[in-house]
A and B are shown apart, each in its own frame.
Chain A
Amino acid sequence: MRVLTSYLIGLIFGVGISISGMANPAKVLNFFDVAGTWDPSLAFVMGGALVVTFIGYRFILKRSAPFLSARFQLPTRRDLDLPLIGGSAVFGVGWGIAGFCPGGALPALGTGRTDVLVFVAALLGGIIAAKLLQAKLTNRAQAQA
């Protein structure tokens, strides 16, 4: 039940990404190219997604628990720190270079294009490298403490 539900939710997400243009780097990069071939479509993607999620979450999170799980697993931190801001800044640089973000690229794998595979392989490489670096930094911090 959980697996089938998850698959269908992923499918809705994948269709949404496909229709919206988020899986198309040309369209994504043009949103940011206000000084050139500007295409404001991405603002409508974000707007549509935010309005639906904002309203839906208001109803869902009033419940004591989700339907198929024991509890809601939400991030609880509210502080701003260097990894959050620095990491997000770095993410933007990569997004601006390649034109794919993870949420756009994963559904785009379904088109079978080699260039999407190349991007996702590099993305996984970056995630693994960052996890190794994070583990090293944590060990060093513990050694000093």
Chain B
Amino acid sequence: MIETVFTPFQSLGGGALIGLASVLLMATLGRVMGATGILAGLMQPANLSDWSWRAAVLGGMISGPIAVLLMTGQLPAVQVPVSTTMLVVGGFIVGVGVTFGSGCTSGHGVCGMARLSPRSIAATLTFMLTTGITVFVVRHILGA
């Protein structure tokens, strides 16, 4: 386990930017800013125009840490306190879950919750609960 510093202002500001991006994507393309949907649609695009906006959003996302590097002189912190096996197993499980659940933290947790969608509220409450249970089991029962 790695101790992290409580960053209320950065987190609030970063969150506001995530919200701004969600509002702008709805205002311009009329789309939900969901990482799962954008990624899944890249693999099965309806047509070239549908593929190109998704690829551009993904390209912008990946440029985010580089923009932070240019502005602040350092890359954002990425600390991975789990093993490679846990990254692979966790990643696969996340992929299965978000596909059946039709969304993740961005699509359900931000965009859907902001529309007060009953499905997104139920999905968000469900994954927040199972994530909490999983972290407790992994850290305090299995001791990983």
18 CB < 8 A contacts A-B: A9-B57, A9-B60, A10-B57, A13-B33, A18-B68, A24-B78, A25-B78, A25-B82, A27-B79, A36-B140, A56-B27, A61-B115, A75-B112, A87-B97, A88-B101, A102-B106, A111-B65, A128-B95
Secondary structure dominating the interface of B: helix
Q: Does A78 contact B (CB under 8 A)?
A: yes
Name which residue of chain A comes closest to B101, CB basis: A87
Q: How far is the CA of A53 from the CA of B44 in the complex (A)?
A: 27
Q: How far is the CA of A44 from the CA of B15 in the complex (A)?
A: 7
A44 touches B12 (CB 8 A): yes
Query: Which one of B5, B63, B94, B114 lies within 8 Å of A126 (CB-CB)?
Result: B94
A10 touches B63 (CB 8 A): yes
Query: Which one of A80, A97, A105, A110 lies within 8 Å of B93 (CB-CB)?
Result: A97
**Nearest CB on A from B33, distance (A):** 7
Chain A residues lying within 8 Å of B131, measured Cβ to Cβ, are 32, 92-93, 95-96
B56 touches A36 (CB 8 A): no
A52 touches B65 (CB 8 A): no
Q: How far is the CA of A48 from the CA of B91 in the complex (A)?
A: 26
Q: Give residues 18-65 of A contacting B (CB, 8 Å).
A: 18-27, 29-30, 32-37, 39-42, 44-54, 56-57, 60-61, 65
**Nearest CB on B from A42, distance (A):** 7
Q: Does A77 contact B (CB under 8 A)?
A: yes
**Nearest CB on B from A102, distance (A):** 4
**Nearest CB on B from A3, distance (A):** 5
A7 touches B57 (CB 8 A): yes
**Nearest CB on B from A17, distance (A):** 6
**Nearest CB on B from A91, distance (A):** 3
B128 touches A92 (CB 8 A): yes
State the 5 A-B residue pairs at the shortest beta-carbon distance, nearest first: A14-B64, A126-B95, A10-B60, A20-B14, A98-B90
A84 touches B14 (CB 8 A): no
Chain B residues lying within 8 Å of A126, measured Cβ to Cβ, are 91-97, 99
B6 touches A41 (CB 8 A): yes
A14 touches B61 (CB 8 A): yes
B95 touches A124 (CB 8 A): yes
Query: Which one of B3, B11, B77, B118 lies within 8 Å of A78 (CB-CB)?
Result: B118
Name which residue of chain B comes closest to A57, CB basis: B114
Name which residue of chain B comes closest to A127, CB basis: B95
A37 touches B26 (CB 8 A): no
